[in-house]
Chains A and B, each alone.
Chain A
Amino acid sequence: MAIGTTQVADMLDKGNSPDTQDPLIIVPQPDLNKIREHPQASIDLRLGTWFSQSRQTRTGVLKVGADDFIEPVTTFVPFGKSFFLHPRAFVLAITLEWICLPGDISAYVVGKSSWGRAGLIIATATGVHPGYKGCLTLELSNLGDMPIEMRPGMSICQLFLHRIEAIGDSKADSSVLGASRRPKFLPIPYDDIAKKLSESPT
């Protein structure tokens, strides 16, 4: 069930208390008064300062199962400066907010309509698992035909929170992909089943 922002504000408030077990945390914390004044279905998140792009001159092909997936070019864009995303370009970015999801909350990262209409896709892997900790990596792509100017600190996406049935230990390693302040490329997994299928005689 989706959680409205008034309830999210209450959870964030509660999370400020050191006694709260497994709290919801968003830092920098959104303005809770504003959220309560204008309840919505999602929390806006802002663009962070780090960007990563593939180093095309060194990456021949994206191979499945390889440990050395992509050697990125990392860029830091300070507040007040711009990053220009050109048509058909793809870049990993990161949210300004560091997020900790409790064990019974999952989330979806979704673009904002104003950006979408400019051609910007925010994220393709949009699910955030319970227990996630860290800034959220955004997979930005410009599908439009005009370069898009982006500035760290701008509102870039929205987070819809959902309560889920318990999935067991809330401290399970769903945070393995996070706990980072910079966007990272990850190896494309090639699991045992896929390997066995490829090795089986036809």
Chain B
Amino acid sequence: MLEFARQRIQAVLAELERTAFSDFPYKDSEEALKSLQRLFSHSLSTFDGLDDNSAPKMIVNTCEVALKGITDNLPLIGFIVRSTATRNAFEAFGPFRRLAGDLLEPTVPVENRTIKLVFSSEWEYQPFIWDPVAQLKDFLLIGLPASESSNPLLLPLAGHELGHALWLRKNLDKELRQIIGEQVTAAIRQLWDECVKHFPEFANIDPDKLDTQMNTGPLFTALLWCTRQCEEMFCDFVGLGVFGMAFYNAFAYTLSPGLTAHSPMYPDLRTRVDRLGEAGKTFGLEPPEHFAKCIAVNPTLSRSTPSDNLLLKIAEQASAAIWPHLLEKARALTAGVNPGTDQVRLDRILARFRLVAPADNVAYLADIFNAAWIAYNDDTMWKEYPKIHENRREVLRDLVLKNLEIFEIERRLA
């Protein structure tokens, strides 16, 4: 057992050493890999002094910890390795790292910020952010679907993922616990008869003392689902606040016409679309015409039971009462990175795009994406250049990525 465990770690370390020779596109992903090398070197050192004569419990424990370290971290190593693939939008790294700092450490001077970012691709069709990883403290690990990871027009979806980091950093679970709890208990009271029917234990609970029972059984599940749904909505609003119209477009591109499988941890897609549509008013945005209709599939819970459906109804009813509060929170936290759409700023960038050239002196990152989506939706774009018009999607992607690089260069030289 001891030798197997030792060899497994040595194999991981050998793979990490090989991976260290990759062409890293920026130092954050290289640093992430080095952190994991240190972690596994330490893991190997825990075997020092152990042999077959050591206490059996200690051997089992050490081997178990080491095995868990491998199972937990191997997907993470894969993620870091994929961050070096040239399919990724490398030019977006600098601007998004800056954006992450502006959102998460707005009062810290740029040179003192601790936030690090790894942009990678994932062989799953969902943009996502890794849950915080203890061994990679301060790292944001954001993945975009591999098939779209070179498509800069979808990068505004990373705004939603940055929302998760904001939720965690601002400890919003804790801050909103009371209001979420109140709304969940209010929803349960409204649906009391149904609750008693589906959950016999409710018969022994005093409806006026529900708040003392929130950490157990179905109440806890409803609270958890509502909290996660609130987090997702908050993240949608952060994405909208940071990127404006581009977020609407990227959202619709990625998720239309919707998927039938629905996780209770998310509001259903149609609800997200409706709330994002309404949230536009807060940010001075009118959603694109196609946005309201972009979700056409009716979602259903996978493996749902009548009691699951009731808990989901409770969570949704509660979150419906909370979302304006989340919207206000997101607005306040994103105001510093995007002061809102300005047609003059957009027209300036668009004028350059029409000449098939990137714009310089762009003031806000969101403006590049918003101009890009206007160009994307304009079928007449570059009609006067037939060959370019024929490849306009590809040309636009290149133009936007180049514009991101120029945006970053200007800030480095400022």
Stretch in B4-12, B49-57, B369-377, B383-391 touching the partner: B383-391
Residues of B within 8 A of A176 (CB): 387-388
Could you tell me if B385 and A98 are in contact, using CB atoms closer than 8 angstroms?
A: no
Residues of B within 8 A of A29 (CB): 360
Query: Which B-chain residue is minimally distant from A182 (CB atoms)?
Result: B398
Per-residue 0/1 for B322-352: is the Cβ within 8 Å of any A Cβ (1 yes, 0 no)? Answer: 0000000000000000000000000110011
Residues of A within 8 A of B391 (CB): 179
Shortest C-beta distance, B42 to chain A (Å), equals 28
Could you tell me if B25 and A133 are in contact, using CB atoms closer than 8 angstroms?
A: no
Residues of B within 8 A of A25 (CB): 352, 355, 357
Stretch in A1-9, A74-82, A112-120 touching the partner: A74-82
Interface size class of A (residues with CB under 8 A): 20 to 34
Partner of A76, one of B90, B386, B387: B90
Q: Give Cα distance in the complex from A134 to B352, angstroms.
A: 13
Per-residue 0/1 for A169-197: is the Cβ within 8 Å of any B Cβ (1 yes, 0 no)? Answer: 00101011001111000000000000000
Within 8 A of B (CB), among A80-101: 96, 98, 100
Interface status of A127 (Cβ within 8 A of chain B): no
Per-residue 0/1 for A1-33: is the Cβ within 8 Å of any B Cβ (1 yes, 0 no)? Answer: 000000000000000001000010101110000
Stretch in B33-41, B157-165, B291-299, B399-407 touching the partner: B399-407
Could you tell me if B388 and A179 are in contact, using CB atoms closer than 8 angstroms?
A: yes
Could you tell me if B398 and A77 are in contact, using CB atoms closer than 8 angstroms?
A: no
Query: Which B-chain residue is minimally distant from A132 (CB atoms)?
Result: B356
Could you tell me if B357 and A173 are in contact, using CB atoms closer than 8 angstroms?
A: no
Partner of B358, one of A18, A77, A98: A98
Partner of A98, one of B90, B357, B386: B357
Central interface residue in B24, B356, B401, by most chain A CB within 10 Å? B356
Q: A49-B405, A76-B25, A76-B86 are in contact. Are A100 and B387 (CB under 8 A)?
A: no
* B residues at A contact (CB < 8 Å): 23-26, 86, 90-91, 347-348, 351-352, 355-360, 384-388, 391, 395, 398-399, 401-402, 405-406, 409-410, 412
Chain A to chain B: the 8 pairs with minimum beta-carbon distance, closest first: A133-B356, A176-B387, A173-B387, A181-B402, A179-B395, A18-B351, A181-B398, A25-B357
